[in-house]
Structure 1
């Protein structure tokens, strides 16, 4: 990948890409340029793509960077190469074609078109939305709480999931909160959502002063929202290893449970692209069990 320059042609996995606006500063707070973000995606692709492959992607597009206009896009970005995999997905408003990020080339092609943040559902296109293969809980701290509190909630949720035969894996969201994933044997989305809601309500019953399951802001002060609704077939979650379009380029990064237990300051589990690459070089993909079959469990 190029270090800089405004435009450069590269060949990735046999595909030619013309990378543009490489000197554009996408994150003024840190000075990260488009070239740096593309280089990150090129280097992280080997561990990221297994978590996006097969899944119809949605994107947060922001061609001018974190401080420019941004929007959520389901359709392929204009100018997407013809070789990028697309699949039809049925939504309430009709059927749309969506990109599947199934290769490093596709990942970089999307980022080159300003689709810097990638979100995916909990099911694969080949199986369809009736066969969710993972459960997700999004722990979102309300006013007066933070990632440290999310970590304490996550530890108890891990215990509850384990008691139900499910193995939890933690991913800091790259924003304020924490995602918990559990690999499943394929199950209907409604069944996964119902279980996730029941689990969240069980947790709220144990700790009513700490946890809430309602999205209403008036109820969230001083509490952690357990957002179970991202298990709905129509919903998506920020993909593991995606860059997040915030003031600083946070990354949705897998973390070990001993790190979750030891967290005492939010900054301890806040990682930029360079830090995530260092972590992967040292630890590998901490989320690798999510993509295999060995730890998949039947939904209770």
Structure 2
């Protein structure tokens, strides 16, 4: 039997488009009963702030054929049959490979992504028109066991102060789960490795001010009950859930931009696919002016050089990355045998 199929009329800036939606009554979030059709409607209602935050960027689609609870997979390349209203840009990855990646520039493209069973959108920190140079500094405040969202809020307030001292204005959003994401718009004058170093410098400064509450330790065994500053989210081709992206979690939570004065009493679970349209109607988009006055990372890079001169150098990269200059050994501290590694972090054995 052929699956049920409807045609949606989506209003794009250059006119209306018809987008097919198969299995519109399929339940995507079983616990709350949200269907594929309701998800497509959400994307239309939230399309303006969604595209402001995620449009004109390379984006990875996290897709779930059978909804939340099923196994997900990532799409970067435009799949066969991708319509011409879905854009793409050719990128160079850390491995040296080059291939096109999806770019969403209009509401119909987001609805198409819903048709492709996308739940979570993972945009790059750079634009498709200049993919090598990020336009925002991103810091993921990740609660570790024994800490919670309230602890991340405390760290975020102090991080905002740190960034202001470095000449940057910070903007916050919920992760859609337990953490907080702090973004600072920057001029696209530095490539990803420089921006990563700026994030590390900010994280280390935050850690100095809150040593009992915050850590930049990459290895879980060293973090303790502290908020982890995930500096590796600043790497090229590493992404986090975009603003206004749903999450593949039981309650259909959404990664949501917030005003700083909302944070202290905030329950992030209140932001869902069903509640965000009303919130946008009532208060608008807290990130509407985010890119209006981008700053520079010069001061943070000065801090990076200062710390490096004091013996605080490079930190570990994710395991799929090539070995980087100055990187410490990619081995848990509890398993490291000093004699097996040289001063550059390379193994000395056969």
Matched, 1:29 2:31: yes
Partners in 2 of 1:214 and 1:24 — Cα distance? 42
Displacement of 1:147 after TM fit? 0.7
SS in 1 for 2:152: helix
Q: Conserved in 1, the CA contact under 8 Å of 2:150 and 2:264?
A: no
Partners in 2 of 1:280 and 1:77 — Cα distance? 32
Partners in 2 of 1:207 and 1:84 — Cα distance? 45
Larger RCO, structure (CA 8 Å, separation 6 or more) = 1
SS in 2 for 1:37: helix
Displacement of 1:214 after TM fit? 2.4
User: Counterpart of 1:112?
Assistant: 115
User: Counterpart of 1:128?
Assistant: 131
Partners in 2 of 1:201 and 1:242 — Cα distance? 29
User: Counterpart of 1:64?
Assistant: 66
Partners in 2 of 1:115 and 1:97 — Cα distance? 18
Displacement of 1:38 after TM fit? 0.9
SS in 1 for 2:135: strand
Moved over 4 A (4+): none
The verdict on how the C-alpha distance between 1:269 and 1:257 changes in structure 2, with shifts beyond 3 A counting, is farther
Partners in 2 of 1:235 and 1:21 — Cα distance? 32
User: Counterpart of 1:297?
Assistant: 295
The verdict on how the C-alpha distance between 1:63 and 1:40 changes in structure 2, with shifts beyond 3 A counting, is same
Displacement of 1:268 after TM fit? 5.3
Displacement of 1:125 after TM fit? 1.7
User: Counterpart of 2:145?
Assistant: 143
Q: Conserved in 2, the CA contact under 8 Å of 1:143 and 1:220?
A: no
Partners in 1 of 2:276 and 2:176 — Cα distance? 11
Partners in 2 of 1:96 and 1:64 — Cα distance? 28
Displacement of 1:155 after TM fit? 0.2
User: Counterpart of 1:284?
Assistant: 284
Structure 1: 5+ residue stretches without partners = none
Residues 82-101 of structure 1, C-alpha deviation per residue, up to 9 Å, x if partnerless?
33111111111611211111
Partners in 2 of 1:62 and 1:220 — Cα distance? 32
Q: Conserved in 2, the CA contact under 8 Å of 1:29 and 1:248?
A: yes
Matched, 1:11 2:9: yes
Matched, 1:239 2:237: no
Matches within 5 A, 1:216-255: 216-255=219-258
Partners in 1 of 2:105 and 2:265 — Cα distance? 35
Q: Conserved in 2, the CA contact under 8 Å of 1:25 and 1:34?
A: yes
Partners in 1 of 2:270 and 2:137 — Cα distance? 23
Which is strand-richer, 1 or 2?
A: 1
Displacement of 1:187 after TM fit? 2.6
Displacement of 1:157 after TM fit? 0.2
Partners in 2 of 1:248 and 1:217 — Cα distance? 28
Aligned match for 1:205, one of 208, 233, 253: 208
Aligned match for 2:171, one of 169, 172, 194: 169
Larger radius of gyration: 2
Equivalent pairs, count: 290
Q: Conserved in 2, the CA contact under 8 Å of 1:77 and 1:113?
A: no
